[in-house]
Chain A
Amino acid sequence: EVQLVESGGGLVQPGGSLRLSCAASGFTFSSYCMTWVRQAPGKGLEWVANIKQDGSEKYYVDSVKGRFTISRDNAKNSLYLHMNSLRAEDTAVYYCARKYRYYDLLTGYYRSVDAFDIWGQGTMVTVSS
């Protein structure tokens, strides 16, 4: 079964740090771009960060640049989000998700698209004193 399972959430004080993990199974993790998306309580979805298959390229939403770092370990089928200088506004459920790709019969190649087809169940991060 294709699955993503997040862990590492919890209560942290403002200014503190936390590392989220996402364990992938049921697919070739190293072949997919991965992402983190968050959702504040009662609010909408917010894209946080992307990472390429080999970890060579990483992209972030402006509000977390310089504070959050996305990384991956393909040998461990794992995705991470290192969060520093946490603020109250970072309080949210954090989801890891797989970037959708499909086999293009016309070209004979896999095509990766800007959409996410597999999501974890989420892990809650609460930033409060």
Chain B
Amino acid sequence: QSALTQPASVSGSPGQSITISCTGTSSDVGGYNYVSWYQQHPGKAPKLMIYDVSKRPSGVSNRFSGSKSGNTASLTISGLQAEDEADYYCCSYAGSSTLVFGTGTKVTVL
């Protein structure tokens, strides 16, 4: 149950697109299409942005999209906005009804 690996930080200018990677193993990310992504602003609870690799819950902007290739999942934020500045965490099903989160990525809007 090792944490999934994410870059510590990613930055971009308003209007640009950025991509956050989430690398695991064949026992978690690579083995199931059950990757979710969460946005967390300082001092706040996480917010679900993506589930099942690429699906968006109702109310989440279509500027957020998810994908997966092999053992690596990705979250892309297009048309970057100031309010997107936050921490982002991936999460994957890891078998036997357990889950594992990523190490987290701080997104900075320049």
List residues of chain A with CB under 8 Å of any chain B CB.
35, 37, 44-47, 50, 57, 59-62, 95, 97, 100, 113-117, 119-122
Chain B contributes a number of interface residues (CB within 8 A of A) equal to: 25
Q: Do residues A61 and B103 form an inter-chain contact, with CB atoms below 8 A?
A: no
Complex contact A47–B101 (CB within 8 A): yes
Seen from chain B, the residues whose Cβ lies within 8 Å of a Cβ on chain A are 1, 3, 34, 36, 38, 40, 45-48, 51-52, 57, 89, 91, 93, 96-104
CA distance A13 to B37 in the complex (A): 34
The answer to whether A44 and B101 touch (CB under 8 A), given A62-B1, A117-B57, is yes
Query: Shortest distance in angstroms between A79's beta carbon and chain B's nearest beta carbon?
Result: 15
- Contact status A61-B98, CB under 8 Å: yes
User: Contact between A44 and B102 (Cβ–Cβ < 8 Å)?
Assistant: yes
Q: Chain B residues with Cβ under 8 A from A116's Cβ?
A: 36, 38, 46, 48
The chain A residue sitting closest to B3, CB to CB, is A44
**CB-CB nearest 8 A-B residue pairs:** A115-B51, A115-B36, A119-B45, A44-B104, A47-B99, A59-B97, A114-B34, A45-B101
Q: What would 11 A/B residue contacts be, using CB atoms closer than 8 Å?
A: A44-B104, A45-B38, A45-B40, A45-B104, A47-B91, A47-B99, A50-B98, A100-B51, A113-B36, A114-B51, A122-B45
User: Bound state CA distance, A62 and B99, in angstroms?
Assistant: 11
Q: Majority SS of interface residues in chain A?
A: strand
A12 CB → nearest B CB, Å = 23
Complex contact B34–A59 (CB within 8 A) = no
Q: Could you tell me if B102 and A95 are in contact, using CB atoms closer than 8 angstroms?
A: no
Closest B residue to A6 by CB, please name it: B45
Contacts of B91 in A (CB 8 A): 45, 47, 114-115
